Amino acid sequence: MGKTTGFIEFKREAAPYRDASERLLDFDEIYTQPDAPHLEKQGARCMDCGVPFCQSNAPREHRIGRAGCPIHNLIPEWNDLVYRGQWRDALDRLHATNNFPEFTGRVCPAPCEGSCVLGITDPPVTIKNIEMAIIDRGFAEGWVKPQPPLSRTGKTIAVIGSGPAGLAAAAQLNRVGHSVTVYERADRIGGLLMYGIPNMKLDKASVVDRRVELLRSEGIEFKPGVDIGDGSGSTFDVSELIAKNDALLLTTGATTPRDLKIPGRKLNGIHFAMDFLTANTRSLLDSNLEDGQYINARDKDVIVIGGGDTGTDCLGTSLRHDCRSLINFEVFPAPPEERASNNPWPEDPVVFKVDYGHAEAAAKFGLDPRTWAIDSLEFIDDGEGNVAGIKTVDLEYKDGQRTTLPKTERTWETNLVILAMGFLGPEHYLSKALGLDLDQRSNYAAEKGSYETNIPNVFAAGDCRSGQNIVVRAINEGREAAQSIDRHLMGSSVLPG
């Protein structure tokens, strides 16, 4: 795979983002497009290893950390094809395991690169860059075309939720001839892809809508603005979907945010991250932010509590609003520069990283926005019901125990706080309407592999089943659930998992 001595001859050169000072002026995508010779050289670094750990993902319950590709992308094969200039064949290999490489090539944290065998001694292959380039070229060349099924089975399936799991399942089920309708409570199709990830990381018109339109042209029906529940209020009765369809798949995501229940939480100016990001993207798409229907960070002293991808997205969005100052609280200490002994290869390395939002904050304010090992104690009232500050205390971690450090209390001025501390699981008005069993973490109870719930002909996949996770794992669960549903309806399935 690749050039025999390529990993010796060529250094890793990842495609850079657009210059931070330039990209802060707009919500356009942050990526640059490297030319074909550059990518072919990077593909040449794939080293024909005996076992390609990059694509050899182990079951989640069998390992401590994340490792390899959850959808078993044929990474060495398409690296080799790109090196040889066979881009059309590389696209076929990419689509063999991944319905939406234009999504994962942009927003996946690339556990495959953390498991690259070359990464044991040298920087790993730029797998994510190559993946994104293959699919972008495929669209540009007109190689990606609608492929509707040649015949229909007569079976109908309803999918609730249009995020990556729901879309992947719908694509697979439609491919074998089932009639699929996807229901989405938001006003646009895409779920997390549409409103949970900001435009500068994943463009909605040129990337998300493009794929949705392709799926629609293949025969999938989409119904946005339909909230499924028990039929009360503005919800549509889920029992009608069960009665009218041969199967129902729940892919509603893990949308219950983790709250910060400290004194002052009810003050004005404290918002959940998804409320902040969703309102911004909706206003951006509706009016280019001219309608004012979003939480504006302009001239605000912003504190984002919580890191991860969502926290970084809140940083990037606040900066594009032209906030006055920006701080990011992290409850854990800063990760090490190199792998720790308890984080061995081929696990995804837990090391210090500078993501796009951190680099942008440094470009604007001169320093990384993160403050590590800090805990919030109380929100401060300005006397009129608005947040004016946060009291905090520093933390120390030793032998796996967390303690507060004496005499480290501080007060930080802020008039906009964004809570980006992750998610607890799915909302439960739909599960209550169904009488659905839950697991110990309040997720929909369904065994991985079968994805069957306790309700006949009702299945569940993605974050609502497994808990908050990455986009590529949601795609994996959607594909596997489609195979299970197809087998359930037809007795056997030709769909890959």
pLDDT tens digits for range 373-396: 999 999 999 999 999 999 999 999
pLDDT tens by residue, 284-319? 999 999 999 999 999 999 999 999 999 999 999 999
Quick check: 62 pLDDT over 60?
Answer: no
304 shares a domain with 353: yes
* pLDDT over threshold 70, residue 70: yes
In the predicted structure, residue 146 carries a pLDDT above the cut 50: yes
In a domain, 147, yes or no: no
Model confidence at 4: pLDDT above 90: no
Q: Are 279 and 380 in a shared domain?
A: yes
pLDDT at 58: 59
Q: Let me know if residue 410 belongs to a domain.
A: yes
Same domain, 478 and 397: no
27 belongs to a structural domain: yes
pTM (2 d.p.): 0.95
Tokens standing for residue 148: 């509707």
Percent of the chain at pLDDT above 90?
94
Please check whether residues 223 and 263 belong to one and the same domain.
no
Report pLDDT digits (tens) over 172-226.
999 999 999 999 999 999 999 999 999 999 999 999 999 999 999 999 999 999 9
Round to whole Å and give the CA distance between 152 and 441: 39
The total number of structural domains that make up the chain:
3
Domain membership of residue 333 (yes or no) is: yes
Domain final position from 378, 404, 421: 421
What is the span of the domain harbouring residue 303? Answer: 259-421
Same structural domain for residues 252 and 275?
no
Average of per-residue pLDDT across 157-179: 98
In a domain, 166, yes or no: yes
pLDDT at 48: 84
Residue 150 counted as domain residue? no
Residue at a domain's end among 404, 421, 438: 421
Average of pLDDT values for 249-260?
Answer: 98
Contact of 267 with 385, CB cutoff 8 Å = yes
CATH number at residue 393: 3.50.50.60
Where is the domain boundary, 113, 140, 167? 140
On the question of pLDDT at 63 being above 60, the answer is no
Residue 184 belongs to a domain: yes
pLDDT at 497 over 90: no
In this predicted structure, the answer to whether residue 65 has a pLDDT above a threshold of 60 is no
Q: What average pLDDT does the chain have?
A: 96
